[in-house]
Amino acid sequence: STTEENLSDRMKLFNQLDVVIVGAGFSGLYMLYRIRQLGLSVRVFETADGVGGTWYWNRYPGARCDIESLQYSYSFSEELRHEWHWNERYGSQIEILKYLNYVADKFHLRNDIQLKTRVISAIYDENSVRWNIQTDTGESISAKFCIMATGCLSMPKQVDINGINNFKGKTYYTSQWPHENINFHDQRVAVIGTGSSGVQSIPLIAEEAAHLYVFQRTPCFSVPARNTPLDLQEEQAWNKDYNEHRQKILNTYAGFHTTGLSYDQSALSVSPETQQKAYETRWQLGGLSFLSTFNDLFFNKQSNDTAGNFVKSQIRQLVKDPVVAESLTSQDYPVGCKRLCIDTNYYETFNRPNVTLVDLKKENIQQITSNGIQTTKNIHEIDCIVFATGFDALTGALMKIDIRGQSDSTIKKKWCEGPRTCLGLMTTDFPNLFMITGPGSPSVFTNMVVSIEQHVDWIADCLDYLRKNQFDTIEPTQESEDAWVNQVNAIANASLVNMANSWYLGANVPGKPRVFIPYAAGIVPYRQKCDQVAANGYEVNAAK
User: Residue 16: phi, psi to the nearest 5?
Assistant: -110, 105
Which residues, listed in sequence order, are joined to residue 216 by a DSSP beta bridge?
A: 359
For ligand N01, give the closer residue by CB, 343 or 475.
343
Residue 220 or 358 with smaller CB distance to ligand FAD:
220
Nearest to 507 by CA among 442, 413, 418, 403: 418
Phi/psi-derived region of residue 407, left when phi > 0, alpha when psi is between -120 and 50, beta in every other case? left
Instruction: State how far the Cα of 534 lies from the Cα of 539, in Å rounded to an integer.
Output: 7
Which is nearer to ligand N01, 219 or 418 (by Cβ)?
Answer: 219
Applying CB under 6 A, which of residues 103, 214, 385, 448 lies at the interface with ligand FAD? Answer: 448
Is residue 26 a contact residue for ligand FAD (CB under 6 A)?
A: yes
**Contact partner at residue 149 from ligand FAD, ligand N01, none, CB < 5 to 8 Å by partner kind:** ligand FAD
CA 393 to chain centre: 8
Q: Which does 252 bind (CB under 5 to 8 A by kind): ligand N01, ligand FAD, none?
A: none
Which listed option, ligand FAD, ligand N01, none, makes contact with residue 146 (CB within 5 to 8 Å by class)? none
Contact flag: residue 442 with ligand FAD (CB under 6 A): no
Instruction: Closer to ligand FAD by CB, 69 or 300: give it.
Output: 69
Site string for ligand N01, 41-70 (x = CB under 6 A): ------------------------xx----
Minimum gap (Å) between residue 65 Cβ and ligand N01: 5
- Which of the listed partners (ligand N01, ligand FAD, none) does 190 bind, with a CB threshold of 5 to 8 Å by partner kind? none
Q: Determine if 141 is a binding residue for ligand FAD (CB under 6 A).
A: no
Q: What is the bridge-based pairing of β-strands 372-375 and 365-368?
A: antiparallel
Backbone angles phi, psi at 215, to 5 degrees: -95, 110
Instruction: Name 381's bridge partners.
Output: 372
Distance CA 540, CA 341 (A): 39
Query: Which one among 25, 198, 308, 405 touches ligand N01, defined by CB under 6 A?
Result: 198
131, containing H or E segment: strand 130-135
CB of 237 to ligand N01, least distance (A): 25
Per the CB < 8 A criterion, the answer to whether 8 and 41 are in contact is yes
Sketch the per residue contact string, 342 through 381, with ligand N01: x for CB under 6 A, - otherwise: x-----------------x----x----------------
Distances (CA, A) of 449 to 30, 72, 243, 432: 10, 6, 16, 23
Cβ pair 32, 21 in contact under 8 A: yes
**Cα dihedral 242→248→254→257 (10° resolution):** -70
For residues 306 and 297, what is the distance between their CA atoms, to the nearest angstrom?
9
Give the range of 40-48, 156-164, 302-310, 327-335 binding ligand FAD by CB under 6 A.
40-48
Q: Which does 47 bind (CB under 5 to 8 A by kind): ligand FAD, ligand N01, none?
A: ligand FAD
> Residues in the site for ligand N01, rule: CB under 6 A?
65-66, 153, 159-161, 174, 192-198, 200, 215, 217-218, 339, 342, 360, 365, 388-391, 444, 503, 508
> Residues in the site for ligand FAD, rule: CB under 6 A?
22-28, 45-48, 53-54, 56, 58, 63, 65-67, 72, 118-119, 149-154, 197, 397, 401, 436-437, 447-448, 452
